[in-house]
Amino acid sequence: MSVFAGPIQELVDELGRLPGIGPKSAQRIAFHILEVPKEEAVRLATAISGVKDRIRLCERCFNVGEAALCAVCSDSRRDSSIVCVVEDPRDIVAVERTREFHGTYHVLGGALNPIEGVGPDQLRVRDLLGRLEPEGVAEVIICTNPNLEGEATAMYLARLLGPLGTKVTRIASGLPVGGDLEYADELTLGRALVGRRQMAT
């Protein structure tokens, strides 16, 4: 049974579906929205629908962008012979902040986690394979999170890509295990990128 008038309850329910937002926070945000001037609430609504209308996944690397190709892929100065493989588009932001990388990216859409039912088929592995030859990829840098799932993914890709003649490297182990890549400071991540090592295949 809902306590609030229909529209408020609907908003509380929708907000409650967002990651990290419990029922109490959902209620707090809903009442905040109710109190702010209408223009402010409309700006939020427009931003939400704008992101769904205008943002799409890059056809090549699956980064987020506004066109068929993302900002990185459509930049002719980027070196397409070197591809940095990440789990999530947010990790691209972290790598870009280091200013140490001038190649292109490939977003896997997660990491291997058999317990959650995520195997190679659930990740964009096939799409990565399809890029190697046409783009003349000489090196793939695996930049997955420094945890068990990220390491499993890195080893899997090394085993898969190694025999195809592509050099496969892994960011250096300077990053602490268990931390998320997106929280790594640019200096540490930059060093990890520069100090990357070739993986056994």
Partner 1 sequence: MASFRDQGVVLRTTRLGEADRIITLITPEHGKVRAVAKGVRKTKSKLAGSLDLVTHVSLACWKGRELDVITQADVIDVFRAIREDLDKMPVAFTMIETVDHVALERHPMPELFKMLVGALSTLASEGGAVLLGAFLWKLLALEGVSPVVDRCTSCGEPAELVAFDESLGGFLCRSCRSGQAVTPEAVTLVRQILGGRLRQALAEPPSRATAEVERLATLATEYHLDRRLRSAHTSSSLP
If we measure between CA atoms, which residue out of 93, 85, 50, 102 comes closest to residue 160? 85
Comparing CB distances to partner 1, the nearer of 33 and 160 is 160
Query: What angle (nearest 5°) sits at the alpha carbon of residue 154, between those of residues 153 and 158?
Result: 115
The span of 68-76, 107-115, 162-170, 192-200 binding Zn ion (CB under 5 A) equals: 68-76
* CA atoms of 72 and 30, how far apart (whole Å): 37
Site for partner 1 in 121-180 (CB under 8 A): 121, 147-149, 151-152, 155-156, 159-160, 175-180
Q: Does 15 help bind Zn ion (rule: CB under 5 A)?
A: no
Comparing CB distances to partner 1, the nearer of 80 and 113 is 113
Which of 48, 74, 130, 183 touches partner 1 by CB under 8 A?
183
Residue appearing with tokens 């066109």: 67
Q: How far is CA 196 from CA 4, 27, 42, 64, 91, in A?
A: 55, 46, 46, 26, 17
Give, for 149, the enclosing helix (H) or strand (E): helix 148-161
Give the interface size with Zn ion as a residue count (CB under 5 A).
Answer: 6
Amino acid, single-letter form, for residue 197: R
Shortest Cβ distance from residue 116 to partner 1 (Å)?
7
Which of 15, 26, 30, 73 touches Zn ion by CB under 5 A?
73
Contact partner at residue 27 from partner 1, Zn ion, none, CB < 5 to 8 Å by partner kind: none
Q: Catalog residues that contact Zn ion under the rule CB under 5 A.
A: 58, 60-61, 63, 70, 73
